[in-house]
Structure 1
């Protein structure tokens, strides 16, 4: 199974070119699901699991992988279907999201496909706000078109792990409190859960949140504003964008903004669950002003306050 991920380290060149690679797998007999390869550390056959009494019902147990205890999430059960029976036919996709490592119990792991973000579409509107997908795409397989559902892992994890938006003592600068009122921040993220986490952290501070669900939507919004004569770099305190999004990723979005002199001065923070060392390099390459990994309320507020201090000075 390791062969399917042997070249992950060589895939970083895809990012910044609005491309991605998806790991395809099944949790039911027919439907294909996927997650981004960049989130995947390893794929292994399901090892023996140890029980974790009192844990969330979606946790099937704990796996010991080379001395590391990893919680195993029954993905089929976590997204609203009947839980997948644990058997020797199952596989474990080990991932790293938001600075934590977890395993997803799945069925057959198929292969990796190379795509562009323009091939990735938002879920249909009739799916409703509570679905567990960030996007869908279509693949041709021996002349047959197959639908692939891309899992909103951040939503899955948020329902299992209690993300606390409470700020640590001393983080909030009281001298800046009145200056935050009415300041506008554009949030760009395909995960409604991730947008809510940022919104719930910043709204109580008096900040007005504007949301976009993908990079292309955000870019078109910004272009419409500058076409109306607005100075987005002055009207917006900052833009906070995810990296991976349908139609246009955060790196491409940043490059497009920097290439347009009408909005090139917009302050941009990359807020993503991808690895920090990789993103620090990409931030420098495409011209972001700051990078923070999800989800850290203290750091998020700290970045906003630092930006506000610069504006006030």
Structure 2
């Protein structure tokens, strides 16, 4: 099953093209779910499982794989479905989010599909498991595919830290940051909450867009009213994966518009750090930051403020 994944070099061709590849799989029923292939290391039969005392109810144990000890999570149970039956024949998807590696037990893997982000829509708001989804799409045969918000799943198992180290909150930083405006772009409410909780400690004024297309329209509306925005906005912090328009395409569109082209854009994503660092220059981002690193986020703000001061 490991051969189900293409190489990173092949997949990088999608970047900036507003396209993605997703791996389709099932949990404890017939509904199709998906994860972005960029976040998947491998798919394999469950290695020998070791039980751990005092583990989270959704963590079924750990496996030792390629020199790492990896927690194994029952993804069905974690999103409120009937728990998965786990045995030596179970399939696991090994993923990397925010520089951490974990495996998810699934009912079975179907295939990889390639699609445009503009065919991917936000999930319907309402009851059920919708709040564990970041997006939905449909296959050519009209079957619904639900794309899981893994950041939310992981945050409920191991809560993310949003507090800034006290020694970083010096008076000069706080004075320079106070009231400056930042646009946050992320389709995950977990991601937005983390950014808000961290950046509000700097007394920044925060605007939110839930996908790249909404962000672009907001920036264009501001530019229509005010002209160039670089003096108004300290920076744009954008996720990579989003329905309608991803962060790579958003950055490319910003660079095309002379009223927006000099905006400072930071890619803030749970995708593999090494992978994204190699692509920041390709799409014109000014920086890259892994999610849920509050101190590093503050240092990005500090560096941006310092650069502005140096220019006079």
Using structure 2 for the length normalisation, give the TM-score. Answer: 0.95
Partners of 2:256 and 2:189 lie apart in 1 by: 28
- Number of matched pairs: 310
* Conservation of the 8 A alpha-carbon contact between 1:232 and 1:266: yes
Cα deviation, residue 129, structure 1: 9.9
2:27 pairs with 1:27: yes
Cα deviation, residue 15, structure 1: 1.4
Give the gaps of 5 or more residues in structure 2. Answer: none
In the alignment, what sits opposite 1:183?
180
* Conservation of the 8 A alpha-carbon contact between 2:28 and 2:81: no
2:170 pairs with 1:196: no
Using structure 1 for the length normalisation, give the TM-score. Answer: 0.95
Change (3 A) 1:67 1:280: closer
Partners of 1:130 and 1:139 lie apart in 2 by: 19
SS of structure 2 residue aligned to 1:231: coil
* Conservation of the 8 A alpha-carbon contact between 1:16 and 1:282: no
The equivalent position to 1:222 in structure 2, one of 200, 205, 219, is 219
Q: CA RMSD in A?
A: 1.6
Q: Deviations over 1:69-96 (max 9, x none)?
A: 1100100011112221213442100000
Q: Deviations over 1:154-183 (max 9, x none)?
A: 011111112112222422232121222211
1:111-150 matched pairs, under 5 angstroms:
111-126=111-126, 131-140=131-140, 144-150=141-147
2:95 pairs with 1:95: yes
* Conservation of the 8 A alpha-carbon contact between 1:89 and 1:107: no
Partners of 2:30 and 2:228 lie apart in 1 by: 50
Partners of 1:42 and 1:92 lie apart in 2 by: 9
In the alignment, what sits opposite 2:86?
86
In the alignment, what sits opposite 1:154?
151
1:211-290 matched pairs, under 5 angstroms:
211-290=208-287
Partners of 1:72 and 1:231 lie apart in 2 by: 49
SS of structure 1 residue aligned to 2:23: strand
The farther-off stretch of 178-187 and 30-39 is 178-187
1:58-73 matched pairs, under 5 angstroms:
58-73=58-73
Partners of 1:227 and 1:167 lie apart in 2 by: 36
